[in-house]
């Protein structure tokens, strides 16, 4: 908490050095960041990918697929 207070104090000091119009921009940007964060927190996860690999379920276990994906990443050439 002490570190946070120091960071807040530093921010306030920096903002106070800015001209009024730039202080307003900082305020607007801070509000934008808070709104964007709130939207991200409210967003429910999408499961568009669910079932995408069902044709492979009889050929691979989940561990086999993890190993394949790792290999593809290392080689830099996933299958098409």
What are the structural domain ranges in the chain?
2-42
Mean pLDDT, residues 4-13 taken together:
91
Nearest-angstrom CA–CA distance, 57 and 78:
18
Q: pLDDT tens, 29-42?
A: 999 999 999 888 77
What mean pLDDT do residues 42-70 have? 83
- Are 9 and 2 in contact by the 8 Å Cβ rule? The answer is no
Predicted confidence at residue 32, as pLDDT, reads 96
Crossing angle for the helix pair 2-17 and 20-42, nearest 10 degrees? 140
- pLDDT confidence band for 58 (50 / 70 / 90): confident
Reported confidence tier of residue 27, pLDDT bands at 50, 70, 90: very high
Q: Is residue 26 scored above 90 in pLDDT? A: yes
In this prediction, residues 43-70 reach a mean pLDDT of: 83
């Amino acid at each position: 908490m002490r570190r946070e207070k120091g960071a807040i104090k530093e921010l306030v000091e920096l903002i106070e050095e800015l001209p009024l119009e730039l202080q307003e921009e900082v305020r607007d940007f801070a509000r934008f960041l808070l709104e964007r964060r709130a939207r991200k927190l409210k967003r429910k996860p999408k499961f568009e990918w669910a079932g995408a690999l069902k044709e492979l379920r009889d050929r691979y276990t989940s561990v086999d697929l993890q190993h394949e994906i790792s290999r593809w990443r290392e080689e830099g050439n996933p299958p098409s």
